[in-house]
Amino acid sequence: MDTAEHDLIVETFRKAMTGSSGAALDAALDELGWADLLAEEPDTAIPVVFTLLGETGSHASVLNDVVAQAGGEPLGTTVTLPFTGGRWVRWERADAPAAQPPSEGAGDLLDPTLPLRLAEPGDPDLHLAAARRALGWWLLGTGRAMLALAREHALARTQFGRPIASFQAVRHRLAETLVALEGAEATLNAATASPEPFTCLLAKAAAGRASLDAARHCQQVLAGIGFTAEHDFHHHLRRTLTLDGLLGSARDLTRQAGAHIREQGHAPRLINL
């Protein structure tokens, strides 16, 4: 795929995600040929679609498709997925209760817009590598969205007669955020180039950690306005925490990585020149 084609795909999907979310976006993605793209060009489909979900703040149930494809199952099904703390969830292919007229249980979850539902334990042998990588891209996109909001605010907001972007403490928090996100992106690219389960696990851990760091720094830079429900920031914060927990949190996965190198007595060099 050449750059022009790639850019076209990005723009097309971005437009779809800016206009819709949830079940409507699922339908829009179907129409745009998501299933074919995932089958034929997974290394484009997954980074593009999942990063854009993060950047635009919209959501779709496409994670099910990535898991289904990895397990050789037909697309369009719903898979029970592990969540941190030994819990299991299903990502429904419908709108979240909270997005519909108020019903019992609405607002039970941190991110009430997601159609997530607690479920009975599912298959412990699911192939999660590709889905972890996908969630990593989503977390990266969410982190970038928060950085963009904080950067914009830092340049616009004036205190003590100058933009807060001129204060070194503010600048360094945003720099720290960029470092974390760029580092995570490098691990995600590595997991795309060599998609072994361990490389994907590390990429999800790095992206979860980076997005959590982004949330902390950007919240501080946005200060009061970022604490209001009127500002978009809190949606991304909720998304970050929820996606981090899905398929193993940064903390869980980092511990697993540590156990792995301890048991092997070896720290694998997963990427080589």
Partner 1 sequence: MTSPVTEPATIGEFRAAVREWFTHNDLSAGPDHSLDGQVAQLARVRRALYDAGWMRYGWPAEVGGLGGPAALRAVLGEEVASRDLAEPGIYSMIEVLAPTMISYAPPALAAEMVPLLLSGAEQWCQGFSEPGSGSDLASLSTRAEPHGDDWVVNGQKVWTSLAQYSQRCVLLTRTAPGHGGITAFFVDMDTPGITVRPLRTMHGIDEFAEVFFDDVVVPGDRMLGRPGDGWQLAMDLLPHERSTCFWHRVAFLYERLERLVGETATTTATTGAAGADDADLGAAYLALHTIRCRSHATQRRLADGARLGPETSIDKVLLATAEQRLFDTARDLLPGAVELTDPRWRSEYLYSRAATIYGGTAEIQRNIIARRLLDLGKE
Q: Compute the distance between CA of residue 257 and CA of residue 91 in angstroms, rounded to an integer.
A: 26
256 interacts with partner 1 by CB under 8 A: yes
Instruction: Please give the DSSP secondary-structure letter assigned to residue 156.
Output: H
Instruction: Please give the DSSP secondary-structure letter assigned to residue 74.
Output: P
Binding mask 45-74 for partner 1 (x = CB under 8 A): ------------------------------
Give least dist CB 164 to partner 1, A: 10
209 interacts with partner 1 by CB under 8 A: yes
Q: What are the phi and psi torsion angles at 81 (to 5°)?
A: -115, 145
4 or 269: whose CB is closer to partner 1? 269
Residue 72 structure tokens: 């050789």
The residue type at 135: L
90 interacts with partner 1 by CB under 8 A: no
Residues 148-187 that bind partner 1 (CB under 8 A): 151, 154-155, 163, 165-168, 171-172, 174-176, 178-179, 182-184, 186-187
150 or 243: whose CB is closer to partner 1? 150
Residues 115-154 that bind partner 1 (CB under 8 A): 151, 154
Q: Which residues are paired to 162 by β-bridges?
A: 159
Which is nearest to 126 in space by CA: 260, 263, 247?
247
265 interacts with partner 1 by CB under 8 A: yes
Pairing of strands 116-119, 158-159: unpaired
Instruction: Please give the DSSP secondary-structure letter assigned to residue 76.
Output: T
Q: Please enumerate in sequence order all residues whose Cβ is within 8 A of that of 251, keeping only pairs 6 or more positions apart, or say none.
A: 84
Candidate ranges 2-10, 43-51, 57-65, 247-255; the one touching partner 1 (CB under 8 A): 247-255
The residue type at 218: C
Give least dist CB 271 to partner 1, A: 5
Q: Compute the distance between CA of residue 232 and CA of residue 234 in angstroms, rounded to an integer.
A: 6
**Contacts to partner 1 by CB under 8 A:** 151, 154-155, 163, 165-168, 171-172, 174-176, 178-179, 182-184, 186-187, 189-190, 202, 205-206, 209, 251, 253-259, 261-262, 265-267, 269-273
